[in-house]
Structure 1
Amino acid sequence: MTADQTSTPVDVTLVSGPSGAGSIDDFELFYARRALRLFKARLGREKLLDLLAKDIEEGNAALRESALASGGRFTGGTTVLATKGLKAGEFMAWMGEAFDDQSVLLEAHPEHYVMGNRTDGTVHIVENVGPHISDFSMGSWSAEAMDWAEDAAELLPEAEFPYKRASNLFLADGTIVGRVLIQFGDTADGFTSNLTVYLPASCPEDVLEHHLRHFAVEFRNWIEVAGPAQS
């Protein structure tokens, strides 16, 4: 192609064939999820962690470095989801039981590798934080965990968003590498989710951006599973 020629995007349209509803992108997403479910199940938790060991070591080191460089300062961002056909209390009740079901937790996002309750009340998570695969813990959703969030600019009125959870995210050595503040409030036909993540201030902007996208994917999928479960 010469310098004065412009590239014309190629567009492919599905005309006929499959009888089921959906686009080619929808079909691809279904098969990608099915393949991931198969590989994760075949590998199991321990083999998956062995496979990702080097990535986890590098990811934890990067987040630890960012946390130390930030000196306890965090930058926050919020993903907002609007749901119809399900109330906040119903979703929170479902979430309370979902963390006992490993398959539901892992399938919510392609980059969920480990997620589940520990006996001490924390949650063990191995997932991407931006480009980094990290192995960290999320603290228990206790009243004490809300202390740091009381002065957060993102804290919403109790009357409108009565369902709130807050927690620190920390590495095995205790380094706090993030925080989450999730808040849910009913609307006339459903509920609104305000999902805030805080990452070390020195993290590149795209790391925060990708975790806001991460929230959108995982909570959308959890909400869609919760809906039929409550009917």
Structure 2
Amino acid sequence: MSELRAVRIVASIGGRHVERAEVLAWEDRRIDAAARKLGVPAPASGNVDERREELLRIKLGLGADEVRARLARDARWADRIALTQARISRRRRRSVVDLRVSTGTAAEFVTWFEAAAGSGDPIAMLRACPDHFDFGVDDRGQRVLETTGGSPLASAFFVDYTEVSSLATVPDNAFPHQVAGVARSRNGSPIGGVRHQFRDTPDGFHARLTVEFPLPTLPTMIAAHRWHLACEFSNWIEAATPGAAR
């Protein structure tokens, strides 16, 4: 596992400071879980950066249609559960992580992220977390197929970054940059959302990452999703930083 990284990222997860190495160790374990979910051999043990790239090659080799076919049953059940939970209550549980980054600016990262997410090229999205299985863009927004939190099921949903009216998390004026949108089920019903907020610091920037889930979602899943957030955004930040290790 590479420790020589061009950018330092320290996470705050459940009130505890977490260094990059611990997030990478979580990612390494999830690579094995994602391979099992897809029904493929796990990449050989060793450097997590190399294993990440090998899992990406496996996903791209299978192709989006095959990945969606393998996870179709998961997605159907996850969709039913999310819709049921959203009908029970419009209130939300929040999974929140803070990242403090040693270089770059909030505006630069948000610009990079919006370009990557909106390009229709899934590679940056798939590479960011082992639990990412399919990403794309269509007229409903960003298409996502991923395992959220500690769920045993992969979920398929859309994130509409043009709509924020149903979000429970209000903007914090201390964070002038944000990426926000409503998460919708495949039938268009709101089931959650994201409000990721960013601000500059004297030596870099601070990201406050928030995902909203339906209130009946188990607290253990909310806690587990913090690690998912720390993993994907740390990898995206490294990808957006010239000279950083992936």
TM-score (norm 1): 0.79
Aligned counterpart, 2:39: none
Aligned counterpart, 1:74: 92
**Quick one: distance in 1 between partners of 2:114 and 2:179?**
12
Q: How far apart are residue 116 of structure 1 and its match?
A: 2.2
The 3-state SS of whatever aligns with 2:90 is: coil
Q: Does 1:51 align with 2:51?
A: no
Aligned counterpart, 1:116: 136
**2:136–2:144: 8 Å Cα contact kept in structure 1?**
yes
Deviation string, structure 1 residues 4-24 (Cα, Å, up to 9, x no partner):
xxxxxxxxxxxxxxxx8789x
**Quick one: distance in 1 between partners of 2:113 and 2:67?**
25
Greater Cα radius of gyration, structure 1 or 2 = 1
The 3-state SS of whatever aligns with 1:81 is: strand
Aligned counterpart, 1:86: 104
Deviation string, structure 1 residues 81-116 (Cα, Å, up to 9, x no partner):
001111011111111221213111100000111112
Deviation string, structure 1 residues 107-165 (Cα, Å, up to 9, x no partner):
000011111221x261000001231311100002x3xx34445x73x5312xx311023
Distance change in 2, residues 1:21/1:173 (3 Å): closer
Q: Does 1:104 align with 2:140?
A: no
The 3-state SS of whatever aligns with 2:147 is: strand
The 3-state SS of whatever aligns with 1:117 is: strand
Q: How far apart are residue 229 of structure 1 and its match?
A: 7.5
**2:126–2:132: 8 Å Cα contact kept in structure 1?**
yes
**1:60–1:133: 8 Å Cα contact kept in structure 2?**
no
Aligned counterpart, 2:229: 215
Deviation string, structure 1 residues 183-211 (Cα, Å, up to 9, x no partner):
00000111000011111111110111122
Give RMSD over aligned pairs: 2.4
The 3-state SS of whatever aligns with 2:130 is: coil
Q: How far apart are residue 167 of structure 1 and its match?
A: 1.1
Aligned counterpart, 2:171: 155
The 3-state SS of whatever aligns with 1:109 is: coil
Amino acid at match of 1:155: P
Distance change in 2, residues 1:38/1:67 (3 Å): same
Where in structure 1 are there 5+ consecutive unaligned residues? Answer: 1-19
**Quick one: distance in 2 between partners of 1:47 and 1:199?**
28
Aligned counterpart, 1:164: 178
User: Which of 178, 181, 185 lines up with 2:192 in the alignment?
Assistant: 178
TM-score (norm 2): 0.75
The 3-state SS of whatever aligns with 1:168 is: strand
Distance change in 2, residues 1:52/1:223 (3 Å): same
**Quick one: distance in 1 between partners of 2:179 and 2:193?**
11
User: Which of 121, 135, 153 lines up with 2:156 in the alignment?
Assistant: 135
Distance change in 2, residues 1:147/1:53 (3 Å): closer
Where in structure 2 are there 5+ consecutive unaligned residues? Answer: 5-20, 29-45
**1:178–1:199: 8 Å Cα contact kept in structure 2?**
yes
**2:131–2:148: 8 Å Cα contact kept in structure 1?**
no
**2:166–2:190: 8 Å Cα contact kept in structure 1?**
no
